[in-house]
Structures are given as structure tokens and as C-alpha cells.
Structure 1
Amino acid sequence: MSRSRSHVLLAAIAAAGTVAAVALAPTANATSAASSSSGVVVEEVYGGGGNSGATLKNDFIELHNAGSAPVDLSSWSVQYISAAPGATTTWQVTPLTGSIAPGGSYLVQEAAGTGGTADLPTPDATGAVNMSGTAGTVALVTSQTALTCKTSADCAADSSIGDLVGYGTAVVHEGSADAPATSNTTSDSRDANGTDTDQNGADFTAGAPTPANSSSAPTSPTPTPSGSDSASASPTPTSTATPGPLRIHDIQGTSWVSPHNGDTVSNVPGIVTALRTSGASKGFWMQDPNPDANPATSEGIFVYTSSAPAVAVGDSVLVSAKVSDYYQLSSGDTLASTSNLSVTELATPTVTVLSSGNPLPAAIVLSAANVPSTYAPNLGGANIESTPITPTRSVLDFYESIEGMRVEVDNARVVGPSDAYGEQYVTVKPSEAATYRGGSELLGENATPSGRLEVVADNGSNPQVSVGDTFTGATIGTIDYSQYGGYVLAASSLGTVQAGNLAPVVAKGTTNKNQISVATYNVENLAPGDSATKYQKLAAGIVTNLAKPDIIAVEEVQDNSGATDDGTVAANVTLDKLTAAIVAAGGPQYSYREIDPVNDQDGGQPGGNIRSVLLFNAARISFVDKGSATVNRSTTGTQVVSDGGSPDLTLSPGRIDPTNPVWNSSRKPLVAEFSFGGKPVFVIANHFDAKLGDQSQDGRFQFPAQSSALQRSGQAQVEHDFIQNILNAKKKADVVVLGDLNDYQFSPALASLRTGTADGTGPSILTDLISTLPVNQQYTYDYQGVSEVLDHILVTPGISAPVYQVVHINSEYANQTSDHDPQVVQFKP
């Protein structure tokens, strides 16, 4: 299949009229963490004050305002945490006062040592933090409330952090490496411009301490020669205005990594097609209006400027820059730890504008006619970047071959809702794997729907669309690569949103008093500090949409202090708030049973101690409590015993083999016995190991390795054997197995759970009810535009004629209460 390459052919670029050369201030490649929007950064950190050999008596933190306006710091603080924080380690807070002038400095004096001979300049704020002389983390915070994050990822997600510096061997830092270790005679500091690329290892250098306070003379950016690591942001003359020897297709090449990666190139011609003026990765795209004949070489490229680009769409430009194949990295990642593909960029640019108002190259219209049917090739886990770009081979190849080029999607249906960052997914193949509600469904392992494509407005706007909505007309932009969702259409214009008005599902409640209903609902890190609105919406979903189930397995219930890692494990406050909200919504007064985990041993958000909980309506069903109250049920597993030909549990509620290594850093199943009309019903609530650490479906390695799958298969096998013991005691025992199993209905883990064998060849002791639905209804979750199954309800053969429903109220909507959809089954014991 050959791809469309219709371009508008323009006259050869010539230096006509006035020629303007604009050197755009660059920095290192963009990172996932945003730079300080205020312009205020941590300029220098020093923790050796008063130590042996030190001249200065005090530790200090110096701030710098790289912006053009004063910034009020009166509600801000600087905070410090040790290099390797433990469970009880807390951030130390120094409140700030006053303001910082544009280009100005602000000095925060911290604790004094017993040595040193010189005082600091008069400080602008004073604290008593005893900073390490070699390694630690300093944060500039826009509030005076102590931070709670203790990992780079959690701190990157905290919007109150304006800037952060980890030095030495600090666990918490920005970018892929810490700033250099300091000493009693050295500090870490930025350059005079306060350059901040969110890469501590690149932004800071160690040297003699140079504390400066607000009385010091303000600084302004220092111009440096073009092509250096920090080029001037002001117009500079150019000695030439003719195209250089290379074109964009030469730089992109037929390989995934540019054949000129790391080279400095001169006067590359192109037409500016779009600007990115928001976020951390500011710059512009340009495209050559004179393409070559090779479908594997892209004619477009992104020019990374770090600040708002001083060009306009339609400008004909020449760009001199350094070629860089940039890999999007999450905080703390390295290239070795990510499976992301690279984006070929031009960095540290000098831009010459030749003319303006030029027509843009025609957009490639994406559809089933030119987008391949295979999403990614099966390379046995090998790196696709070691193979040549073959546009007809796969979607990944195709989008790489047009990386940076203008594309268009017409009347695009939304298959993944907008998130908080304005990211959403559409399909360019409306009939492919369509769900009954408008999504695109995962129908097999490594079978990502080939029509799925992320869309993000390049101006940072958020259209707030849900599954089934449509961008009518043309959505036009450039092909880029996203940190979280593979290739993305960076849209300079979005189609008009036509609402699909997708109605939430309402379950049919049981009308037979002899039937019970059992549901599962992942409530996404529910904590006491969550808003009243979240509790109210969860309650409404349980009362109205789930129709007041008799039993609810609830996953991701956090402890009473939420994500604060303070040793708290009890969750009664969280559960009392939830059950009270259900009553207020018109539901029954649910009772509950759960087992507090050992602190920080069950995975999930650090400090949250998430666990599965069983809510039950005691007016309809009885909980059968078993076992001594003095037994440590967190670490002592329940056993199946035979009682007169019927199964019985030694502990109810209990855990299944909780010390087995398959449950390391993961939730343990909660098993309990209920009685309904004198008949026993066994319920096992689950939250299997998450897919964290698996390689990306959109990444370099195909097919991607799923490192987490082995642990889930082991968990499934242990649980299968436990259920088999129940059935050995009574062949037709009623057992309901449910929860967030974090895997697909066709996965080895679900095969092991059902049959005891990863290939599913053993005799089945469970029916996975999701598989009994029509194919276009088999999903409970929407992950990056793919409707898939993570949550399950399985039942033993003794449960006949179950009525099963997936209740879609969350995952398809921009306004979500949880990222999972609940489900419910009704049956007669």
C-alpha cells in the first residue's frame, strides 16, 4: 500500500525582500515535567555551611526570577527532604515572605554549623533546616503546606511544586539524573540565565558557593553565539540566506533514528506548518514543500525552541540546529528503562525567516484506505528501531514515515475520552472493532485497533469529549509522538464537537427476593481526603446504576490517612464515609468486612495501603464470621475444611495464602462466607498485580514484554487451587470470584484462574461472565482509546442462570468518578 503524498509545490526558496534571522533561545530536549510557569527557579543549593573546611557559616538556598515580572512569594515556601526518605521522613518547610524582582535573586538562609568564618549576605528569608552537605532534595513550593511526595513521579504530579532540585544521590529529582554531589566547599548552581530544562543533572554544576540576595543586581539573559547550548532570543544578522545541503527527508531518513542524529545542520528549508505555544515542549513544525519520491522518508520535523517560537504559520524558513532523536522519559526514567520511540527534532535552533504567508503543504487524509490494518509487527520482542521504516508494514511504521507532517482526520469519532491534560483518542476506521457504545475494542493479545489515534490540541485546550462524540468536519495537525499514548495528531484545528450523548448504563435490579446480587467496583484510590462530590457520585452509582447490590467487592480503598505514608493502615474512616454517602443517596446501610494490610506491603499509591473490601446489606444477607479475633489475618491464610460434606473456612474474612511470594507488593484476595436463606455463598474479592513496568503497546519493542504477567498467572494459579479445594468439599458450591484482575479475558492469567493451566487446556471450574456477552460488549475499561477487560466476575458451575451486566458509568466519560466501570451478577443460591 502506498501512502498519499500530495503536496503543494512552491517556488524555490529565495532571499527576496527583507531577510530576518531569528535565533530562538533553546535548551536541552523537552521533558515530561513542566518548567516553573512563574519564572522563579531554585538557582543554587548549599548544605555544607559551618562544616569542616567551609568558609560560610550557614546552609542556603538561592532563588532566581528568570521571568519578566515580579513574583509575590508571601504564600510560598522552600522545602527540604533527605536523599533517601523513609516511612517517617517528612519535608522540612521554610516559609517565604515578600517578592522577587524580574532577573532578581532571593536568598534563604538555613541552619548554621559550628564552623565557618563568613556570614551570608543579608537573607531574604530564614529557616532552620540542616541540609546535607552532599545529597538531598530542595523544592520550591507555591504553598506553605508540607509536601507528602517521596518519589520523583509523585513529586512531578504535585502541581504545588514550582521547581525541584535533587543533588548527589537523592531519590527525588527532576529528569534522568541528580545534580552533582556537593561538598563543604562546593554548591550546585544554574547558569546566570536560570536555565531550567527539568533535567537536574544537566542544569546544575558544582562550584564555589556564590550566595546572592534581593539586593544583588538583577541579571538578564546573556546572548551567546548561535549553535551553542544557549542561543540568543533576539534577532541576529545572518551571513547567508540560501538553503544548505540537507533537506528534512535527508535528516529523517529511512531509519527510525536519524542518520544525522547529533550532527549540527545548516539552513534546512521548510514552511512553518504549526506552532506549539503551551506546555514544556514549545516550538514549531516545518515541512518541505518539495518532497522526495521515497515513502519511508518524512518531509516534516519539529523544531524545539523551549520558549514561544518567534515565527508564524506560513513562514518560509531556514533552520540551523542540532539534530536530536529525543525520547520522552517519565521522571526517573532512563533510555534503558523506557520502551518509547524517539522523535527526531531540531534543537538549539537559529531560524532565518525568508518570507511569510506561504500556502501550506496539503494534509494527508488518514483513513482505512492508507492506514495499515496491523498496528505493530511481531518482531519477537526485538527493537523496531533496528529495522527499516516500512510504511505498509504497520501503523507504527506508517506514522513514523510521516512524523512531523500535516495530516487530516474527517468526522472522527471519539473512542477514548478527554483526560485532565486535554488528551483524547479517535478512530480513523469507524467500523473497526466497534463497541456497542462507540469505542474501539481489544479483541486479542497485541491486537491494538489500528484506527486508534491520540489527538491533542497544540494550543493546550481541552474539548472535554466522551466516547461516542464526534469531531465533525476536518481535524488537522501534525504527527508527533506522545509520552503516554504513542503517535499523536497535534491538532492546530479541531473539528466541531458533536455530542453523542452516551447514556450511563442502569442495571436491572433483581425482582426475585430469592436472588442475590453481587457487584465489583474499583473506586480508584478512595481516601478520606477525597471530595464530597466523589463520595456522592460513587454512592449514586451504587444506589442507582448498580441497583443496590446485596454484596459489593470494592477495590482501591485507602487507609485513614490516604497517601500520607505515616504507618496508618486502618480504613474505617474511608469506609464509614462511603457507607454514609450510600445511605444519603437512598441506599441501605451497608456493613463491611476487610483486613488491614501490613504497612506498605500491598502495592498501589505509596502510603495508601489500598485493599479490597466487602460491603454487604445485612438486612438481606448474613456474614458468616469465622476464626479467633486474635489471629493476625494479614499474614495468616484461611483454609478450606470439610464440615459434614460441606466446605467451611477457618477464617472468614480471610486471605488466601498471604505470605506466598506471588502476592509480593500486591493485594491479597479477601475471601468470605455469606449465608442467604440458610445457603452458603463464598465470595472472593480480588485486585491482582497491575501492569506497571510492562513495555508499551506503542513502543520500540514488539511485541512488548509484559513483565507483570508472570506474577498475575501465579496469583491466578494459587486462587484456582483454593477454589478447587472448596469444590472438592462440595462439587456444586456457590463461589463468586470478582474484582480488578488487571488482565484480559483471553490472557494466560485468566486461563490459569479458570482451568489451572496457562493455555486453558485443563478442566474449567469457573465461567468468566464477560465472555458470555456479545463480543462488542466485552469491556470494562478504556485505556488510551482501547476498550478492554480488566474487571471480572467469575462463577462456579453450581451457580445456574446468572444474570450479568457491565454498568458503564465511568471509563467512557471525560468526567469520571473512577477509571473503572462496575459490574453486577444476580443469581439464586
Structure 2
Amino acid sequence: MSLRAPRGPVALTAVAASALAAGLLAVPSSASAAEVRIHDIQGSTRISPLAGQQVSDVPGTVTAIRAFGSSRGFWTQDTRPDKDAATSEAIFVFTGSTTPSVTVGDSVLVSGTVSEYYPGGKDAGGQSLTELSKATWTVQSSGNALPAAYRLNPSTIPDRYTPDAGGDSIEGLALRPRSYALDRYESLEGMRVSVENAPVVGATNTYKELWVTAEPHHQRTARGGALYSSYRDPNAGRVRVVSLLPYAQHPFPVADVGDALTGTTAGPMDYDNFGGYTIAATAMGELADHGPQRETTRKQKADELSIATYNVENLSPKTAQSKFDRLATGLVEHLASPDIVALEEVQDDNGATNDSVVGADATLKKLTDAIKAAGGPAYEWRQINPVDDQDGGEPGGNIRVAFLYNPERVSFTDIPGGDSTTPVQVEQKDGKATLSASPGRIDPANGVWKASRKPLAGQFSFRGRPVFVVANHFNSKGGDQGLDSRFQPPARSSETQRTGQATAVNTFVKALLNADPKASVVVAGDLNDYQFSPALADLTKGGVLTDLVTRLPKDERYGYVYNGNSQVLDHILTSRALRRADYDIVHINAEFSDQSSDHDPQVVRVRP
């Protein structure tokens, strides 16, 4: 489990404090020691009506304890709930790095300061957790029965995900748990919840987390995931699962997408900005291995040119040899040794060391050597070194896109003149399109590429026919508000730059097609956006390119899994001349806890 940073209570504002001191601001009657209960603290909105105030002798039963990390504490739940479905009956008592001296089943009276904690900081845009901090408590009795867990299932989770506040905060809105899924989860904050026989839709990660869905028949992929196919439907049944059980006695399940946690998984409803609403499990279902196997695509025929895209995730000579070997196996055995590979996230020759090194020949040699050792072809490569520290990614890594190609099947048309700052131009020669430089970077001085990878255009020849391939890695979604943000709908601030990047590539492809309407063009790479996004609309504008993922059956349109959503970030697009494209997303990574990259590769077979 990822650990949260230490935190303190939210203080009263200076105005409120002055007003209180002057007797102008009354303390709500519910804050009196004899009357206050947890549902009074939680209130019917996301922010406690008692935030910043001291409360005393709040009754409840201890339901779970977090006894590790810097965010220790316990959950206490009232066994005498009110009749308002919007008010949670439980709360987390924060004890910092000190393990609380309570036992599950203790009946306690807790005193402390009501605070609102924002995981990741308030500026991150996420929800807050109402908590008691600087707490003291007395144990009244032990061995008490726990409140029944609230069942999360299709009948208790609303179809609509969240109210629309026009991009503003929903914190002040009254919770409507029967209308919106996020309101339902918020109304259960800290309370015991459960899922039964829950399908795994997000594989176990290195932080010992996984995602399940409480809606087993909603928007499923062909291989058992939860398909994210529209901004309108973020798959409301997704919840993260972490464990409060000691790992030594209860190892965390190592699950892949398509597996299931059979039986009951139960615990308090928690929240984290990295994973959203979370079951902090005190009871974990048994792992059932239902997941599919890694895929293998077919080999290209003699007259088919196969082109793949693969994000190799911060690859450098410092990367473990085992990852190079697994990437090589994926390319040779699972992708059938494509003729051309557009690689993303190729780092420089000393990886994240932040110095003036920008070359990547050592990285690419180590990969191509591994491919040859795995029985693949003797790939050659082409790429252009970026300007130091100008292309984003891991600081010092100088990630870039690059081409591998099999010289026994396809030749690269080398045209001198390409460098990190010179834009490649489209020229016409004998009625055909050609490039001013190959490889060459597309419009590298354009502001849309600031702190982002510049596209690499290459001219190839297959069976005597020219083929133009553009390798891409658009800017990331960093800075966007999460689907579960308190601002709804969430802002996608990174989208502006990607739409500009898409327009730049679209303009370049149009120039190729103006020079030769029958030009064979393939645009491939990690575009960091969905097939239904504005960026892809701008990239395909004018019908110059077809996004091949849209030709797949709907339940196969994914190659990346994030927070339990199976989605599209990588794409291969083709020009009109390549009408008989045979396209495949090869699922070997994203659905599995054991990955060689977090992206699935893709391949297309065309006849230029």
C-alpha cells in the first residue's frame, strides 16, 4: 500500500476564529459532548459542518486498524445510525506514526479535532476525508459485534457517476447517494462495505493494490476488464482494494485482469487521490485465476508490411537485462518480428543520470542484441537525439521515439539533413512525395512540443514502394483532474497541448497527401489519449487518416489499464491508400501484474 504523508487538522479561518471569539459565530448544538455523533460530524455534504471544531466523547465501535506507515489510526462506526442515507456513520481517527491502542470490537468514546484531509494536497483536485485528529479515547467495552457491511452491487451503485457542477467543486452540494455513484461512496466514507465474487479489472501493482468492479456485467472487455469507452461512463462500479491484514500471514493476492476475488472482500471505505474510493480490506476474497493468457499475433505474409508500436517504458542501458529479454521475446514471439517498430520512451545511454548525454545508441544496441538472441532479425535503427532536457519524461532520461527495422524485409531511405531542431519538409519528385530529410522531426520549434517528444518521420521502401511512417509520443495527462475529482466534470488541462500536437501531425500528413494522394502513410505511437478524444478528432480531421482501433469490436478497444479502466492510449492510423489494413492490439502487458511495460504493443499489416 502506498503511504500517505503526515498531516494535521484544518484550522478555522482567521475570520471564523475572530467571530467565534467575539461571540458572533455560534458553535452548532451538535458539537456538545452529550449529543454529537459521527453522522453529525460527517454531515450531508463532502465537508463536515464541524470542520476545525473540537468534539468530545463521540461513540462508536472500532471496525478496523491501520497499524503501519505514517497514516496510522483506526475506523470507528456508530451502531445507532440515523435515517439519512447521505450521512456516513463512520470516521477515521488519525494517530500519525503511532499505532493506536485499540482492538477491533472495542466500544469507544473519542474526542478530537474534526479535520478535512486531502490526499495529495488540496491542489491535486481530489476528494477530502473527514477525520478526527489529535484524538484521545476511552474504551467502554470490548468484543462487540461489528456493524453489517454495506453491500456494493449493481442495485446499490447508481448508474450516473457524479453531479455536473460545470467544472466547479461539488463539495457544497448535498449528497444524493441514490442518484450518483460518487455520492454513494462519499456517503459511506469510513463505513464497512463489501463486494461479493468481485471480478478483477486492474491487476495487482507494486504497491499491493488491485481494482475490482462491483458491477460484473457492466461494460466488460472481451478479456474481463472494465472498458472505458466514453467520458460519460467511467465505470462507476470500480473500487480499489488494499489490505489491512498482515502480509506475512495474509499475502496480498497477485491478480491479473479477468481473475476474481471470490467470496467476500470487506473493510472500511477509504479514499486516496491515486486510486479513488478504496476498500481497506479486513477480509479478502480468495483469488480465482480466470484471467486469459498473453496473446500472440499472426506472422505477416510475404507481401504484407508489418508495422508495430511499442512503449518500452523508460528503457536505458541501466534497465535490468531481464526486461530487455522480455521485450525481445514480446517482439519476436508475440508480435512475430514486425518489419518496422516505432518505439517510445527510449532513454539516453545513461538513463536518468542528468547530464549532457543525449545519445541512445547503447540503449538501442542492447535491445536489438536481445532481439537477435531471442531468435529475431538483426534489426537496425534510426532516430534523432533530442536537445538535452527538452523532451519531457523522467529528468535526465531524454526519452525519444525511434525506429527499428528489419533490413531483410524493408529498407530505410536515408536522406541527410535531419537533426533535433530542423523541421522535415514534404517535397515532390517525379509526381511522388518524398521527405527533405529521413529521419526528420516534424515542426520541432512549434510550441506544442514544449517539454514533449517530437514526432519522427521516416521514409521506407517495401518491395520497391515508398512508405512513410511517423512515430509519436504526445504529451502525458499529467496535471489533469481525476475522474473522481471534487471538480466535475474534471478539467483535462493537458488536452490543449495534445490537440495542438495532433493538428501539427495532421498538417504534415496532409502535405504528404497533397504531394501524392496515393501515398502510403502510417502514424503510430503513444498518443496519450482516447479514440473518442478531441486530439484524435483533430489528428484524423479531413479524413486523411483512419484510427484503426475504431475498426475493432468495441470490447477489444483497449491496450492500457489505469485504475481499473481498460482504455486506449496507443494508436496506429493509416492513410486511404492502405485500405486493407489488418490491425491487432496484442495483449501481453497491461492486464498482467507481471509486466515488461505498462502498455500493450500494437501491429498492423498492410500491402502498400
Shorter-chain TM range is over 0.9
Matched residue, 1:244: 34
Asked whether the equivalents of residues 474 and 494 of structure 1 are also in contact (C-alpha less than 8 Å), the reply is: yes
CA contact (8 A) 1:277 1:459 kept: no
Listed as ranges, the matches of 1:553-568 within 5 Å are 553-568=342-357
User: Which position in structure 1 is the counterpart of 2:260?
Assistant: 470
Structure 2 Cα separation of the partners of residues 606 and 377 of structure 1: 38
- Name the aligned partner's letter for residue 134 of structure 2: T
Residue among 147, 152, 158 paired with 1:372: 158
Measured against aligned partners, the alpha-carbon deviations of 1:73-123 in whole angstroms (never above 9, x if no partner) come to xxxxxxxxxxxxxxxxxxxxxxxxxxxxxxxxxxxxxxxxxxxxxxxxxxx
Q: CA deviation at 1:32?
A: 7.1
Matched, 1:600 2:379: no
- Contact 2:257 2:291 survives alignment (8 Å): no
Match of 2:109 in 1: 318
Amino acid at match of 2:271: Y
* Cα drift, residue 349 of structure 1: 1.1
Q: Which residue of 2 aligns with 1:800?
A: 579
Give structure 1 regions of 4+ aligned residues with deviation exceeding 4 angstroms: 31-34
Name the residue aligned to 2:479.
Answer: 693
Query: Where does residue 507 of structure 1 map in the other structure?
Result: 297
Matches within 5 A, 1:778-793: 778-793=557-572
Q: Tell me if 1:481 matches 2:271.
A: yes
Aligned partner of 1:587 in structure 2 is: 376
Q: 1:812 corresponds to which residue?
A: 591
Contact 1:446 1:703 in 2 (8 A): no
Answer whether contact 2:2 2:207 (CA < 8 A) is retained: no
Match 1:434 to one of 205, 220, 233: 220
The AA in structure 2 aligned to 1:765 is V
Which string of whole-angstrom CA distances, capped at 9 and with x for unpartnered residues, describes residues 662-692 of structure 1? 1111000000000011100000000001100
CA gap 1:448/1:460 in 2 versus in 1, 3 angstroms: farther
* Counterpart residue number, 1:309: 100
Aligned residues of 1:485 and 1:698 also touching (Cα < 8 A)? no
**1:243/1:290 CA distance change after superposition, 3 Å:** farther
**Paired residues for 1:74-223 under 5 Å:** 197=6
Alignment of 1:611-760 (within 5 A): 611-628=400-417, 633-755=419-541
CA contact (8 A) 2:3 2:71 kept: no
Determine the C-alpha separation between the residues in 2 that align with 1:250 and 1:620: 72
CA distance in structure 2 between the aligned counterparts of 1:653 and 1:724, rounded to whole angstroms: 18
Residue 527 of structure 1 deviates from its aligned partner by 1.3
Asked if structure 1 preserves the Cα contact closer than 8 Å seen for 2:65 and 2:75, the reply is yes
In structure 1, distance between residues paired with 2:429 and 2:33: 88
Q: Please tell me the residue identity of whatever aligns with 1:370.
A: T
In the TM superposition, 1:309-388 aligns within 5 A as: 309-329=100-120, 334-335=121-122, 337-388=123-174
Distance 1:440 1:501 in 2: 13
Structure with higher helix content: 2
One-letter amino acid matched to 1:662: V
Please state how far the C-alpha of 1:350 moved relative to its aligned partner: 0.7
Q: What's the CA shift for 1:273?
A: 0.6
The residue aligned with 1:143 is none
Separation (CA, whole Å) in 2 of partners of 1:598 and 1:487: 41
Q: 1:491 to 1:752 in 2, by over 3 A?
A: same
Distance 2:40 2:163 in 1: 25
SS in 2 for 1:386: coil
Q: 1:403 maps to which residue?
A: 189
Higher RCO (CA < 8 A, seq sep 6+): 2
Instruction: Specify the alignment match of 1:491 in structure 2.
Output: 281
SS in 2 for 1:384: coil
CA distance in 2, matches of 1:812, 1:523: 16
Q: Give the SS at the match of 1:792.
A: strand
The aligned amino acid for 1:530 is T
Deviation at 1:355? 0.5
Q: SS at 2:448's partner residue?
A: helix
Count of paired positions: 581
Q: Deviations over 1:316-343 (max 9, x none)?
A: 00001111110112xxxx52x2101100
The letter of the residue matching 1:271 is: T
1:104 corresponds in structure 2 to none
Post-superposition shift, 1:446? 4.3
Residue identity opposite 1:276 in structure 2 = R
How far is 1:447 from its partner? 2.1
How far off is 1:564 after superposition?
1.0
For 1:507, give the aligned amino acid: T
Query: Does residue 422 in structure 1 map to residue 201 in structure 2?
Result: no
Structure 1 or 2, whichever has the larger Rg, is: 1
Question: Structure 1 residues 33 and 453 mapped into 2: Cα distance closer, same or farther (>3 Å)?
Answer: closer
Letter in 1 for 2:279: L
Q: CA deviation at 1:622?
A: 0.3
Report the AA paired with residue 703 of structure 1: P
Aligned-partner residue type, residue 688 of structure 1: F
Identify which range, 282-291 or 242-251, moves more after superposition: 242-251
2:27 corresponding residue in structure 1: none
Code of the aligned partner of 1:324:
S
What amino acid sits opposite 2:459 in the alignment?
E
Cα contact 2:7–2:117 (8 A) shared by 1: no
What is the match of residue 297 of structure 1? Answer: 87
1:664 to 1:409, Cα distance in 2 relative to 1, 3 A: same
Secondary structure of 1:543's counterpart equals: helix
Equivalent residue in structure 1 for 2:543, among 759, 764, 772: 764
- Cα deviations by residue, 1:123-180 (Å, 9 ceiling, x for unpaired): xxxxxxxxxxxxxxxxxxxxxxxxxxxxxxxxxxxxxxxxxxxxxxxxxxxx7xxxxx
Alignment-derived partner of residue 394 in structure 1: 180
- Give the deviation of 1:699 after TM superposition: 1.1
Q: CA separation in 2, counterparts of 1:649 and 1:800?
A: 23
In structure 2, distance between residues paired with 1:310 and 1:536? 49
Deviation at 1:281, TM superposition (A): 1.1
Distance in 1 of aligned mates of 2:244 and 2:605: 47
Identity of aligned residues (%): 51
Q: Does 1:773 align with 2:564?
A: no
Would you say 1:825 and 2:604 are equivalent positions?
A: yes
Report the CA distance between 1:460 and its aligned residue: 6.4
- Return the TM-score normalized by structure 1: 0.69
**319, 326, 335: which one aligns with 1:530:** 319
Preserved contact between residue 680 and residue 734 of structure 1 (Cα < 8 Å): yes
> Given the superposition, is the C-alpha separation of residues 496 and 728 from structure 1 closer, same or farther in structure 2, using an over 3 Å criterion?
same
SS in 1 for 2:540: helix
Say what the alpha-carbon RMSD is for the aligned residues: 1.6
Per the normalisation by structure 2, the TM-score is 0.94
The residue aligned with 1:216 is none
Segments of structure 2 that go 5 or more residues without pairing to the other structure are 12-31
Equivalent-residue separation in structure 2 for 1:455 and 1:375 (angstroms): 19
Deviations 1:280-317 (A, max 9, x none): 21111110000001111000111111221211110000
Query: For each residue in 1:172-231, what CA deviation from the matched residue of structure 2 results, as whole angstroms up to 9, or x when unmatched?
Result: xxx7xxxxxxxxxxxxxxxxxxxxx489xx9xxxxxxxxxxxxxxxxxxxxxxxxxxxxx
